[in-house]
Structure 1
Amino acid sequence: MSRRIALATAAALATALIMTGVASCGEDDSSARTPVGPPSGRSETVAPTGGSPFWVDPDSDAARQVRQYESEGRTEDARLLKRIAERPVADWPDGADPVPDITKAVRGAAADGRTVVFVAYNIPHRDCGMYSAGGSHDGQAYRTWVDSFASAIGDAPAIVVLEPDAVPHAVDGCTPAQYHDERFQLLSEAIDRLKRQPNTRVYLDAGNPAWIEDPGKLVEPLRRAGIDRADGFSLNVSNFQTNDTVKGFGAELSGLLGGTHFTVDTSRNGDGPLPGNREEAWCNPPGRALGVPPTDRTGDDLVDAYLWIKRPGDSDGPCRGGPSAGTWWPDYALGLARRAKA
């Protein structure tokens, strides 16, 4: 079992409670996600899953959907969707101004005595112009955004998964070569800035085994991006590779990096990837299931945590009838929950 995250949480809890206070009942949610159902206060039914030190958002899309289903008498659907609503999911702060989202999450996590998990996802030339295109318009804007992001975390215990896809897209050539030097420099600077926060752990994204199949190709790019000053790397973000496959790949990459630890996104890998065409398997694949609930009790010395980085139920993009990337899709969420083992 990894003890690193739990120890950081315990050390920071008292300070976080003092620094953050208690969120007001009328605090506005500045997230771009569309609210589901009628406005409501905190749900008393939402509680952190046993064995997890991570914060559960009581007003997540899934939690609001549960309340809507309950009001409509859809009790079985509500019961199933609690498999998502009552478990900790990463927060993806806004790309324009991350402070309101982070402040709200930090306050909620401090009140519950938990660690909050964030994803920093705003690198220039993000996603090579595909479904999740966007990001900061230039390097200086990104530096300013990261500084605001880190400052908003303050002394709170937090995990930051840094820039999903940014390094793998440089490795596979999707991000044009003229942007590589700046990208690695920005990632390296972001690690340094985030690590100035005393209780923040940073995991630089390294893709998944079905994408960059040879872990050796990631070693030099990760080093250029500052992996030696991060707490580790993250794997399987928004993907579906099984834990055994990811851990095998991660152990090999870790060995090439001198024993670096890593995290695994288990949000949707309960039944592994969709068989068949790999190019079509990543975007809203049917028949998938929730994976192992978030925990730092992984039973593997190299794996610091299983996390739900991708929010289960958020669309991958406008494929297979889905809405735009990052938009809550309750029918897909129900499918993931229905096929989950627990």
Structure 2
Amino acid sequence: MPPTPIPGTHLDNPFVGATWYVNPDWAANVLNQAQQTGGVLGQKMAKVAQYSTAVWLDRIGAITEGRGLQGHLDEALAQGANLITIVIYDLPNRDCAADASNGELLIAENGLQRYKTDYIDVIYNILAQPQYRDLRIVAIIEPDSLPNLVTNLSVPACAEADATGAYVQGIQYAIDTLHQLPNVYIYLDIAHSGWLGWSDNFQKAVTLYTQVVQGTADGFNSIDGFVTNVSNYTPLEEPYLPDSSLTIGGQPVRSAKFYEWNPYFDELDFAQALRQAFIQQGLPSSIGMLIDTSRNGWGGSSYGRSRPTAPSTNTTNVDVYVDESRVDRRYHRGNWCNQASGIGERPQASPVPGIDAYVWIKPPGESDGVSEPGIVDPVDPNKKFDRMCDPNGQNLYNSAYPTGALPNAPHAGRWFPEHFEILVQNAYPPIQP
């Protein structure tokens, strides 16, 4: 066991030796469904309730409504936990390239100032209270924001976020504010391999993130690392596709339709390569990566195919070889909404070198977005229907493929029992009853 750290010291890896907070609100949904389901499947569901998931602060109101941030921190202390993960997620023009998680703040309506004063400052004032100084508070900063500046500037809301500097300034303000507390650990979201894996996107992302971090008050020492695969489904490893340059029928496997020349097939390779790239840019070697493994297990069977147990034996057709070898069974790698995957690796500290932890940022069982138009979320009316969540729709990036989204989904963040059942059935490693 590592030595018990002195309270107030900033650790290299906050997850090591920590007791992780379990959100009782999420766990209640899990246990309720487990009880209703019964049998062996119900027993498996109940096992899931023991794991730590992140608390999403996706509106100004979320800081205080219901249990609220303070309530979660108090509950963490009551549990005897000393680590809690929160998600900072309310930039103006949030989710600028999609609709399912549109936010409440707009750049054109003084959104950046409100983000600073009504959101970040309020969170800081709660976290800074002395009774929480021994809690290790992990802050996940603004999923999907900076990646949209890398690839989606053709979308007007993203172009506005770029041209005004609102995303960069908002994130730098969040980092500078929260970094003042030695017990807060800051990890910047950096998408996933299926978004930023191509060499152009990879290099642009490393350059942009380096500039953003360099521009904070404490520069490269202001963050603890980066997090990949937040709310996504990209597998940790593709065990039967370890070499993206392997040739089948004279073609490298990365040229297959599923990978579209992207050399990164899985999150572990992507995350470790990113870490090395940032260290080469001057960030300290103490930085670590987190990977969201809540829904990237891909066991069982989905989309008409079971998890492969060996590489394909096809030697002539690269697409057949890849499709028969990959554990990621989505129709298209860009499919992000309510996919029929499985729960992945359980949360754990230091699983492999360079990775601070596998974490569950997206709580399994919570929807990615509503599956049909015309339904208003009474608590958060800004959330809209996104066509990538339409179970009868086609992928927006390539209309040759369906979305693969499950039907009957509620709005993003709402409990989705049918999805949770599939996630438990398809868990990998499997969940033992």
| Residue 7 (structure 2) aligns with | 11
The reply to whether residue 194 of structure 1 matches residue 178 of structure 2 is: yes
TM-score, with length taken from structure 1: 0.79
| Residue 85 (structure 1) aligns with | 49
| Residue 53 (structure 1) aligns with | 19
What do residues 197-221 of structure 1 show as CA deviations (whole Å, max 9, x unaligned)? 2201010100000011232121122
**Percent same amino acid among aligned pairs?**
28
Contact 1:289–1:336 (CA<8 Å) still a contact in 2?
yes
Match among 275, 279, 284 for residue 254 of structure 1: 275
CA distance in 1, matches of 2:210, 2:273: 16
The reply to whether residue 290 of structure 1 matches residue 343 of structure 2 is: yes
- When residues 157 and 75 of structure 1 are mapped into structure 2, their CA distance, relative to the original with a 3 A threshold, is same
Report the more deviating stretch, 239-248 or 183-192.
Answer: 239-248
| Residue 95 (structure 1) aligns with | 59
Bigger relative contact order (CA 8 A; separation at least 6): 1
Q: Which amino acid aligns with 2:95?
A: D
Match among 9, 20, 28 for residue 63 of structure 1: 28
Where does 1:1-342 land on structure 2 (aligned, <5 Å)?
11=7, 53-57=19-23, 59-67=24-32, 69-70=34-35, 72=36, 74-100=38-64, 101-111=68-78, 112-128=80-96, 129-137=98-106, 138-144=111-117, 145-154=119-128, 155=133, 156-173=135-152, 174=155, 175-180=157-162, 181-213=165-197, 214=199, 215-226=202-213, 228=220, 229-244=222-237, 245-258=266-279, 259=285, 260-271=287-298, 273-279=328-334, 281-286=335-340, 288-300=341-353, 302-317=354-369, 318=371, 319=389, 320-321=406-407, 322-340=409-427, 341-342=430-431
1:94 Cα shift? 4.6
Report the more deviating stretch, 121-130 or 170-179.
Answer: 170-179
Contact 2:20–2:84 (CA<8 Å) still a contact in 1?
yes
What do residues 126-180 of structure 1 show as CA deviations (whole Å, max 9, x unaligned)? 1125111114331001112011112222223210110000010111124533322
What do residues 2-58 of structure 1 show as CA deviations (whole Å, max 9, x unaligned)? x8xx967x7359xxxxxxxxxxxxxxxxxxxxxxxxxxxxxxxxxxxx98631112x
What do residues 219-265 of structure 1 show as CA deviations (whole Å, max 9, x unaligned)? 12212322722111110001111223212111221122114421100
CA distance in 1, matches of 2:57, 2:160: 28
Cα-Cα RMSD: 2.5
CA distance in 2, matches of 1:139, 1:323: 29
Contact 2:57–2:90 (CA<8 Å) still a contact in 1?
no
Report the more deviating stretch, 203-212 or 110-119.
Answer: 110-119
Q: Which amino acid aligns with 1:308?
A: W
Contact 2:26–2:363 (CA<8 Å) still a contact in 1?
no
What do residues 180-208 of structure 1 show as CA deviations (whole Å, max 9, x unaligned)? 22211111111111111220101010000
Report the more deviating stretch, 270-279 or 110-119.
Answer: 270-279
TM-score, with length taken from structure 2: 0.64
1:69 Cα shift? 4.7
Contact 2:137–2:185 (CA<8 Å) still a contact in 1?
yes
| Residue 402 (structure 2) aligns with | none
Larger Rg: 2
Q: Which amino acid aligns with 1:241?
A: T
**For 2:116, what is the secondary structure of its paired residue?**
helix
**For 2:61, what is the secondary structure of its paired residue?**
coil
CA distance in 2, matches of 1:61, 1:99: 16
Contact 1:184–1:221 (CA<8 Å) still a contact in 2?
no
Contact 1:313–1:332 (CA<8 Å) still a contact in 2?
yes
- Structure 2 residue runs of 5 or longer lacking an equivalent are 10-15, 215-219, 238-265, 280-284, 299-326, 372-388, 390-405
State the number of aligned residues: 297
CA distance in 2, matches of 1:75, 1:61: 21
1:104 Cα shift? 1.1
CA distance in 2, matches of 1:202, 1:51: 18
